[in-house]
Amino acid sequence: MALVALIALMLGSFAGLLVGRWAVALPFAAALPAAALLAGPEAGAVGALAAVGLLAGVHLHRVVAEQYQPR
């Protein structure tokens, strides 16, 4: 289960880094409570880790984009 959680965190952060928008990440994070109720607490925890990774990737995308602004 730990390997699945790490993969979910990694894929979530990579997806957030590619997408780079908060508007895409927020509906995914809002759907987590319903998914946790339907799939169980373990799947909800893995989904929460994926959402955290997605939000971290979005933040990292924004930080890198602000650092390298065109002149």
pLDDT in tens, the chain (71 residues): 778 877 877 777 777 777 777 776 677 777 777 877 888 888 888 888 888 888 888 888 888 877 777 76
Alpha-carbon gap, residue 19 to 54, rounded angstroms: 9
Extents of the domains making up the chain? 2-12+20-67
Q: How much is the pLDDT for 33?
A: 79
Q: How much is the pLDDT for 6?
A: 78
pTM summary value: 0.68
Q: How much is the pLDDT for 37?
A: 82
Task: Evaluate whether 24 touches 50 at the Cβ level (below 8 Å).
Answer: no
Determine the 3-state secondary structure of 51 from DSSP: helix
Q: How much is the pLDDT for 26?
A: 73
